[in-house]
Every structure is written in C-alpha cells, then in structure tokens.
Amino acid sequence: MNTPLAVQELSKITMPIVFNEPLSFLQRITEYMEHTYLIHQACTLSDSIERMQLVAAFAVSAVASQWDRTGKPFNPLLGETYELIREDEGYRLISEQVSHHPPISAFYAESLCQDFKFHGSIYPKLKFWGKSVEAEPKGTMTLELSKHREAYTWTNPMCCVHNVILGKLWIEQYGTVEIVNHSTQEKCVLNFKPCGMFGKELHRVEGHIQDKSKKKRCVIYGKWTECLYTIEPKVYDANKRAEKKSGDSKKHKQNAGRGTDDADEMPDVEDTVTMIPGSTLLWRIAPRPTHSAQMYNFTSFAMTLNELEPGMEGVIAPTDCRLRPDIRAMENGDIDTACQEKERLEEKQRAARRERAKDEEEWSTRWFQQGPNSYTRTADWIYTGGYFDRKYSHLPDIY
C-alpha cells in the first residue's frame, strides 16, 4: 500500500530543471481560457440549464490541457505577474503570485464587452506517494455572467502524475466537481473517474445537472481528454441497462501484479467516447499540433503563452513571466543558463525575504487582496483593479 514518504510538501523542494516545462504556473493556469468560446456561447442562451451545460463543458475543458503534460511548470516568484489580452477571443487576463509559502496564484479574467468575469486563486497542494505525485488544486473558481446576473463556483479535480521515479509518466484526474449556480440554486455534479483496476474508466467524466428541487434535468458524459455530451436522463439510463444486458459482461483481462517496486502501468486507453443516440455534443478538444510531443506536449494555445511580441517590452509589467530569464533560456534550449538563472532568481528572492524580515516589513500584493469569496464565503484573493492602467513604477525588481 502506498503511504506518503514525507509530510513535507513538494512545493518546498527545489526540483532539477529537467523536470520542468518552459512556462510559469501563472501561464499554466491561463490555459483555463483556451475554450473561452463556451462562456461566450453560454451568455447568449436564455435557458439556465443550457447555460449550466456549457459552464460544465468549460470547467472540464479548463483541465483538458493537462493531458500528457508531465513537465512541471516553474514555481512563480513572489510578485510575478502574467497578462494576456486576446482581442480575437474577446477577453483579457491578469494573474499574480500573491504568496510564496504557501504558494498561491490569483487570476482575474474579464470579457472585453463586459459579458463575463472569471476569477479564482489556486494553492496547489502536492503530496509524494512513492511512485506518484498527487496535486490537490485547492481554491475556488468563480464565473459571473453579467447579463444573466448569475454566478457559478466550483473547485477543480485532483490530478495525479504516476511513475515519477520509474517508468513512463502518465496523468489521471479524479474526484467530484460540484458547480453551483448561486442565482438559481441549480447544480451540476461531475464525477472525474479514477483509472480503476482495469483502466476502463481512465479519463472518463460522468455527471448530471439538477434543478433547485434536486430533480435530475440532464446527464453529462464523456472524457476530459476528448469531448463532452449531454442527454436526457431516461435515455441515458435505458442505454446503460441495455449495455449491461448485451454483455458488457466480457471479462476484462488485467496485467496483474503491480509490485511495490514496479512502475504503475498506464492502462490502454479506449480512444473514443461512444455517443449514445439522442446526445448533444457540448465540447470537443482541439487536436494538438503535429510537433506537440517535441514541445512538452503543449497545445497550440500553450505554445503562444510565452511569446514576447514586438512592442510588448516596456508596455507589460516588468514582473511578467515572459521576461523571466530562466524560463526564456529553457525555451531557447540553453539548459545550463536556465539552471544558473533559476538558482540566481531563487537566491534573490530569499535575500529579499531576509531583508524584509530584518526590517520587520510585510510583503504587500499589488493587484489582489485577500478576502472572502462573495458567493461561497471561503478564503479567496480578490482583484482590486488598476493593472491595465499601465502604472508600474512601484513594482519590485524580482528578475
């Protein structure tokens, strides 16, 4: 049986740079925005159950880029920021590393035409279980749709990277994600299924939407790596019964014997989700570029996140991750410089912390402040505004 090797959190351990991918964790959380078109679609719908279906699809799509992403993003430095403006997708985003111990990243995105706000703060709690690393993404996601005066909240599923010591790395996500519409009291419950003994459930997501009287209004099913469908509960249940009868009783064979020192074999993945007649497609993942495997398994969206376009320098904040020299060196394939720069930046951060301690000075965040979430009342970090006014003279020199 696996037990944690140490109570100490992995986030406090310096990992060799070969385990990294050339993005900061602030850029990784920006990948939630890859399928923003789902939010825009939800804004146009008059039926709240249909809006919830698309919000559920957005919540699932937001973690889809984790598939096969076994590189660890760089830990953001305290005060590090990242901005993204996508006029073609109709939104802008700002994020800030608001705490170092524990590491907390806060983000805020808004529609350029005031249709929605999407924000949250994430404290990834990591545990090492001998052969695997489990990440619990503590923190609340909040999506507000202004036209409908609605707010939805949820937390992301658990993520586990297997075979961190030996064997081929592979990822699974599991746990229950509960999306609540605080205006209508409708709720979507999504079960991200763990791999299970035979791997049949790997990547599967299944759940339902219920109204405020807890009546099941629709079923949602699919895979977080592929697509998501919705269907009427009666049709879904009838299909399940028929499946059982017609001989889902084929016995699955297992390559038995996962010894304690062996790698956890990644189960064979059934490639596609079988669409039940009468289903409606909510979301399908965009195919990854052909050279993705040589580029840390990045999606097309992820590949653009560290681009420093002409004219950006001097406009974006000097704390933006695009200006981080260790990540830039790694992206350029200069691993020795990346290692030296990473060490230098971490030492600079420690020295700044010692100076503050000596002067009994508290670190003050720039764009977010701690406070309760307006809807769940749980601890959160709230955007205070002002970032896009482009007044950055007061920012610390962190690089």
Residue 376 has pLDDT above 90, yes or no: yes
Residue 128: the pLDDT is: 81
Mean pLDDT of 1-11: 46
pLDDT beyond 70 at 255: no
Tell me how many helices (H) and strands (E) the chain has: 7, 18
- Inform me whether the pLDDT recorded for 15 exceeds 80: no
Q: Give tens-digit pLDDT for 89-116.
A: 999 999 999 999 889 999 999 999 999 9
Better pLDDT: 372 or 256:
372
pLDDT tens string 53-69: 999 999 999 888 887 77
- Give buried/exposed letters for 169-197 (b at 16+ CB in 10 A, else e): bbbbbbbebebbbeebebbbbbbbbebee
CATH-assigned architecture of domain 20-244+269-297+320-376:
Beta Barrel (2.40)
Q: Is 370 helix (H, G, I), strand (E, B) or coil?
A: strand
pLDDT score of 65: 85
CA distance 279 to 261: 44
The domain spans of the chain are: 20-244+269-297+320-376
Q: Helix axis angle, 37-44 relative to 48-61, nearest 10°?
A: 180
Q: Which long-range contacts (CB under 8 A, 24 or more apart) does 172-177 make?
A: 172/202, 172/203, 173/63, 173/66, 173/203, 173/224, 177/59, 177/207
pLDDT at 354 (0 to 100): 94
Residue 253, pLDDT above cutoff 60: no
